[in-house]
Structure 1
């Protein structure tokens, strides 16, 4: 179900935002600019300073966010972080009020999303899994693709909030469906990045202008987000992260495990994961995913 109600009525709710890293800081700022009262928590407070200077309220713990906010958005690093934030002794589910809405925008395990949804329901709370795609650029420009899993009524209730952060927002199905959709996204990107890197390397090896080649092929059948947005960075030696290699490896690991559970072979995904793991072993885990090109230089 696609959103067609941008600019709809705003929920008069206090929003808690946990995880204000490369993407989260932009996402939270859009909510503030839309007039929402936002409270934030991040393991490293320094990353939250731009939001605090703009008027966000700081909380020292996840528990304090749970006790304060009506809607809580999380975008943290790994599934074990999600589990701790939601299901830990000092986590959200143990300290939030009845009726609280949770939106986990971390890329995490589908099974964990289902577990959180079920536990929330037992407590008369509402949980959605809503991972995103679009990287830092999409977060900064509020045009993320947001893939949602959960109950229809809960989705409709928080849709005005999601619309402040993304431009392509769809309910994919029940709990866990958002995470499964994100796995499809990451599988497509993983193999595609190999093709982008090899195309740029081939152009340069053939003595062509990689920039001129890119201008031509990105408008044809080879066109993709990675080709248009990350290939130019490869060509200019810019490997700063819009999305960290270490997090991409995490995503590919989840996708491989989920595929294996379903009996699905994904050789392209396996090859991409092995290539990125090689980069990580070379100390590139904090580089952007376009750093895969370094293996071809």
Structure 2
């Protein structure tokens, strides 16, 4: 079975982008080159797991990251599954393969000083867009909601009488998050500008474009990146970093881990524990400064 048939399958049936298809092709061609050099032109279709394992060892010894190796093996696995689907292969040589362990990247949150700089000095509120941008930043930092959750917020989700908002999370699970006083004021300020828009098409949604349409995820990312790239030296200035900052700063101030889990909409405590890395660092500072045996 030629690689071109597999590429056609990825393009036409799986509807993968041209860039993705080329990435699959490069991975398979690289493995074929390894087979040519090591096993004297053995075919991709005929290999067994030991040959693949040897390629993995060579990649590791060459300094290729586990994450990249896993991606290359995933390309191979897709190819062998395709061969099984069309009846050209009985058994997938990767059926018992286990992916290499990949360490989780620790994502540093924005500092409280960076947040203060953006929230207090970066935006001069004088029109609809500036009021909306301010609200988006405050919503992320005051509630920790996800970007898609923010995009889908409706006017009816804001409960001023009980100072809370309703958020529709993953798997359509609802949760309620308290509104702090400053955020309530920012929402009201934004709504005043929103009411002055000449046309509002998506009336039920809270956050809109200046054309009165529901805001979209890429615009939200651009807004966050626009303001925080000026205040922070971090390579990544995204909505998720703001969500990370919300959780980390709460934990640094002594918030209960289970309470933060509920606010974030996590189903398991393990997902929330990712945010304790920086909190533990902060705890060590407090411990070193406060413990009686350390004050001598």
The verdict on a shared fold, with TM-score over 0.5 as the criterion, is no
Select the structure that is richer in strand. 1
State the TM-score, normalizing by the size of structure 2.
Answer: 0.29
Larger radius of gyration: 2
State the TM-score, normalizing by the size of structure 1.
Answer: 0.29
Select the structure that is richer in helix. 2
